[in-house]
């Protein structure tokens, strides 16, 4: 019988302490068309992510604690990386069950509206994506090398 889980969002310090030794357990979505929905669904369930970057291949992250009915704690890393929205954690049975339950919860959630603008380095292109009035959108505009270099320098090399 599958364990039931309670999911709680965690802070950045907890993520830094629990992410070592973890790897991707599963993708959250099955189709590319659903990838844009995922951040909106996560926002509905857990609020704002721990971070959002302009790098499409490191777009956002959440640290989620899954607690079983018996009180066992399992830390999961929910993120959007090079392969899209995914859940990371330890490669063991309990973590995989928690990741499956979390993914099911996420894909069933109603997405919140949001806007995102970032860089897809393989393009190279600028991506504008999000959800407006419940409808997902994705716009990708290729940029030439000189413009791309300038954007990357401003985005990834600027001191804050």
Name the pLDDT band for 160 (thresholds 50, 70, 90): very low
Residue range 39-53, pLDDT digits in tens: 999 999 999 999 999
Cα-Cα-Cα-Cα dihedral of 113, 115, 121, 123, to 10°? 80
Residue 147: its pLDDT value, please? 76
Q: What are φ and ψ of residue 26, in 5° steps?
A: -165, 160
Q: Cα–Cα distance between 79 and 24 in angstroms, integer?
A: 10
pLDDT of 95 over the 70 cut: yes
**Model pTM score:** 0.89
Q: Cα–Cα distance between 27 and 32 in angstroms, integer?
A: 11
pLDDT of 11 over the 50 cut: yes
The mean pLDDT value for 13-29 works out to 92
The angle, 0 to 180 degrees and rounded to 10, between the axes of the packed helices 32-46 and 93-108 is 90
Residue 156: its pLDDT value, please? 65
Q: Cα–Cα distance between 125 and 128 in angstroms, integer?
A: 10
CB-facing half-sphere around the CA of 113: CA atoms within 13 A: 4
Residue range 104-154, pLDDT digits in tens: 999 999 999 999 999 887 778 899 999 999 999 999 998 887 777 777 777
pLDDT of 12 over the 90 cut: yes
Residue 158: its pLDDT value, please? 52
């Amino acid at each position: 019988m599958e364990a039931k889980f309670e999911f709680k969002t965690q802070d950045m310090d907890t993520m830094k302490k629990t992410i070592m030794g973890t790897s991707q357990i599963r993708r959250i979505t099955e189709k590319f068309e659903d990838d844009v929905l995922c951040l909106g669904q996560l926002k509905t369930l857990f609020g704002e992510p721990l971070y959002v970057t302009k790098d499409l291949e490191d777009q956002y992250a959440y640290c989620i604690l899954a607690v079983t009915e018996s009180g066992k704690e399992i830390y999961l890393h929910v993120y959007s990386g090079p392969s899209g929205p995914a859940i990371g954690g330890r490669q063991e049975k309990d973590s995989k069950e928690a990741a499956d339950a979390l993914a099911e919860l996420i894909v069933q959630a109603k997405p919140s509206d949001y806007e995102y603008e970032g860089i897809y380095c393989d393009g190279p292109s600028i991506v504008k994506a999000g959800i407006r009035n419940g409808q997902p959108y994705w716009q990708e505009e290729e940029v030439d090398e000189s413009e791309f270099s300038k954007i990357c320098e401003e985005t990834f090399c600027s001191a804050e």
